[in-house]
Structure 1
Amino acid sequence: MGQDLPLTGIRVVDYSHFLAGPHMSRCLAAMGADVIKVERPSGGDAGRAHGYFKDGQSGYFLQQNMGKRGICVDVRDPRGADMMMRLVETADVFVENYRPGALEKLGLGYKALAARNPRLVYCSVSAYGHTGPDSKRPGFGLIAEAKSGAMAQLGTEGEPPPLLRIPIADMYAGMHGVSAICAALFGRVSSGKGQHIDLALYDCMISIHDYAVQRYTFSDGRELPRRTGSDSPETPIYGVFPSSDGYVVIAAQVDDAWARLANLIGGAALDPKFATPAGRAAHYMEATAIVKAWSSALATRDCLAALDAASVPSAAVQTIDQVLADPQVEARQMMVEQDHPVLGKVRLPNLPFKFSDCDTTPRRVAPLLGQHNMEIARELGIAESEIADMQRESILVNEPAADS
């Protein structure tokens, strides 16, 4: 018999929306936490209005909120505020991602909630954090990606840099939040107290730089990264190469991988001037042209087979349909199938962590709006008559499908 999930017994109040906060609390739910998503009347989490849609349900919302229970309560009403405070008093973690200062106006800032529950770990995610000259400015992941210098390294010189098309800043912040929350919970064991975690999308994007910042600071400000399209001139061979029917990526930037690739290609690739990283960088255009000429003469399958046989790291540039048909994705159970009360069977991306002695497969589909209003109100000791009044007066709200 396996262990309990590592966060079994931890209760999380998720008062976040869109992506960074919901992804963070989704991860905590997968690790065993009882996550209660709190939404505002009448539309709930703004992510519910973000596509792709099927039968009025947002796949975006379903992916980031699986594993949670959900309530929809008007915290501006004294009865809704009382219910929220009762919930916070039972919680170990509170997650929010509003602009700094917004929740203080509702009585839901860290100081107010910590006064009610000193053991509370309170995690705030915002564009710029709670300090600094930009702290009050609005922002999304796109803003952080642009300001951080990451976007300036993408695309081709003379053209606008492309959008990343995947939410790097939000997802990276969410993952950092999981780490910080777990650390704070561990620290609480000895201290007996919670604390406030202040997490900024912009900070996360600054921290992700693995090379560009060092290049600038170590060169005393003389060198800035250039936009180089699909190649990496400073560390060839490392980039995207054409095949006869698509594209492959090849990572032969280290000497032993390059030696194997050169032996595979033969001819001009074996020239000693390419034998070192400095030599390949100095003759980048020539080395890249040799590899492109070789790869473009082969179909993707044949190109990859040859590279695999030579132990040169490589992969096809896959489209989403190819990803979902990939045997590796199936073997790693990276798609999860759930039964949704409106949509029936749904398939969504799973989380990447695997534990040896417990199963993190999501137990719940994402909640319908207000699906667990009555269940959680009863758990908090609210009288049936008061629950009925709150429903009638739209202090507790749910979508029609949650009634069935």
Structure 2
Amino acid sequence: MPGPLSGVRVVEMTSTVSGPLAGMVLADQGADVIKVEPPMFGDTCRYLGSSRAGMGGMYAVLNRNKRAVALDLKEPNQKAALIDLVRSADVFLENYRPGVLDRQELGYDALSAINPRLIYVSITGYGLDGPYENRRVYDPLIQATVGMAATQGDLGQRPENVRTILFDKVTGLTAAQAITAALFQRTNTGKGQHLPVSMLDSALYYTWPDVMWSRTLQGEGASDVGELADYFHVLKTKDGYVSVILIQDDSLQLVSVWRGSEIHLDPRFTTLPARMANRQAFLDAMEETLADVTTNEVCDMLDSFGVPVARVNSLDTVHEDEQVLQQRSLVEVDHPEIGPMRLPRPPAHFDGQGPIEEFPARHAAYLGAHTREVLEEIGTDEALISAIERRDAEQAAQLQAAMAAAGN
């Protein structure tokens, strides 16, 4: 896919979400991202969630615009092929546990020795060292560590996880931005570098400004204005829900007068601090006031008052939102193997990238779909390429037979 990173080659050896998302961003921006996976099963994300014809929807989104190569790194000749590929690369992106690739002689020291201009990116959970370095890490564990789980619901009550893998995705975006900055730096220094990016650091960096706004100023004399989340409300209407921000007292007065209510005169609700101190009573009173009006009516009227408001869309209606449609934020395409899909276009569209109708330039591919193409580009021996193709065909047949036997 053309873009500002055209001409940049990325060798991606990652799985699941954080690494693949970083590679996806780079591929969407024009980089030649070559995803190298182990044979037989490949990235476990291939099979997660809703799937069709052997590929999951999440994998199809995260691995668009990439080329797929399958190499068995336990085989010396295939490992040598990977090293040849790295010689031609600008970026090597991995999210293995700390030390795993070092033990395979594929760590930063080994690969930078053969390609001093290589930007080697290591995405980890808790970092490259420390008491947690070897823990298995998933997004909910990072949510717990950085305090995000404690912010869901009322503080002091039972913690809850955010119902999305938030920090995997934040880490992927952080890594992608760091890679582009490192590429720019290399134009001045001529040298590559090792870029460790942890989910822990990314999560703290992301959450701190608002989640920790009452814990940033240390020592005496800082005002206490509560938690930012307490300023926002989701209210039930006659036929759904709205998200509304009633920070200004005159906003509450406008809503109250519109509904023929006297909520704005109730001493528990006349000021923002009072509303925050009596939050549940305020929510109950507001929902009683809005109980006989529809979501559309609430949105239209509050918007006319200048009160920030939005309907709460269900997951099944997001694509029908009039602003989403106007912005063409989502595209509907036919994947050549797995059929019709709906997915978001990249939020930043660069000059020369062509119309939205041409996105994505390359769909997520089956395991090893581009092995021959890529290995031929780097001059790999034909006998090895043919042997890899025979292996892939045999393993694909075995996997299909196993899935058929399991009823999938």
Please give the range of the TM-score, normalised by the shorter of the 2 chains.
0.7 to 0.9
1:371-390 alignment, distance < 5 Å:
371-390=369-388
- The Cα shift of 1:234 comes to 6.6
Aligned partner of residue 310 in structure 2, secondary structure = strand
Paired with 1:399 and 1:172, the residues of 2 have a C-alpha distance of 37
- The Cα shift of 1:397 comes to 6.9
Paired with 2:84 and 2:330, the residues of 1 have a C-alpha distance of 36
Cross-structure match for 1:113:
111
Deviates more, 1:356-365 or 1:9-18: 356-365
Cross-structure match for 2:61:
63
Equivalent pairs counted in the alignment come to: 394
- The Cα shift of 1:218 comes to 3.6
2:140 maps to amino acid: L
Cross-structure match for 1:281:
276
Paired with 2:164 and 2:17, the residues of 1 have a C-alpha distance of 12
Cross-structure match for 1:171:
169
2:126 maps to amino acid: Y
2:286 equivalent among 282, 288, 291: 291
Task: State, as a whole percentage, how many aligned pairs show the same letter.
Answer: 33
Cross-structure match for 1:200:
198
Normalising by the residue count of structure 2, what TM-score does the alignment of the two structures yield? Answer: 0.87
Paired with 1:248 and 1:355, the residues of 2 have a C-alpha distance of 34
1:343 maps to amino acid: I
Deviates more, 1:256-265 or 1:89-98: 256-265
CA contact (8 A) 2:261 2:289 kept: no
1:98 equivalent among 96, 99, 104: 96
Paired with 1:285 and 1:377, the residues of 2 have a C-alpha distance of 63
Paired with 2:248 and 2:193, the residues of 1 have a C-alpha distance of 44
2:265 equivalent among 255, 263, 271: 271
Q: Does 1:312 align with 2:298?
A: no
CA contact (8 A) 1:241 1:296 kept: no
CA contact (8 A) 2:150 2:160 kept: no
Aligned partner of residue 14 in structure 1, secondary structure = strand
1:251 maps to amino acid: I
- The Cα shift of 1:58 comes to 1.1
- The Cα shift of 1:296 comes to 2.1
Closer/same/farther in 2, CA of residues 136 and 396 from structure 1, 3 Å limit: farther
Paired with 1:211 and 1:191, the residues of 2 have a C-alpha distance of 36
- The Cα shift of 1:256 comes to 6.2
Cross-structure match for 1:39:
37
Query: Cα deviation per residue 1:376-400 (whole Å; 9 max; x = unaligned)?
Result: 1110111323322333456997679
- The Cα shift of 1:346 comes to 2.2
Cross-structure match for 1:325:
320
1:253 equivalent among 239, 247, 264: 247
Query: Cα deviation per residue 1:123-154 (whole Å; 9 max; x = unaligned)?
Result: 11111011322122220111101111000111
Paired with 2:182 and 2:227, the residues of 1 have a C-alpha distance of 42
Deviates more, 1:361-370 or 1:232-241: 232-241
Paired with 1:371 and 1:296, the residues of 2 have a C-alpha distance of 55
- The Cα shift of 1:33 comes to 0.3
Cross-structure match for 2:404:
none
CA contact (8 A) 1:369 1:399 kept: no
Paired with 1:186 and 1:256, the residues of 2 have a C-alpha distance of 49
Closer/same/farther in 2, CA of residues 85 and 399 from structure 1, 3 Å limit: farther
Gaps of 5+ in 1: 226-231
Paired with 2:49 and 2:149, the residues of 1 have a C-alpha distance of 24
Paired with 1:222 and 1:318, the residues of 2 have a C-alpha distance of 42
Closer/same/farther in 2, CA of residues 124 and 304 from structure 1, 3 Å limit: same
2:210 maps to amino acid: Y
1:341 equivalent among 326, 336, 347: 336
Closer/same/farther in 2, CA of residues 100 and 309 from structure 1, 3 Å limit: same
- The Cα shift of 1:236 comes to 5.8
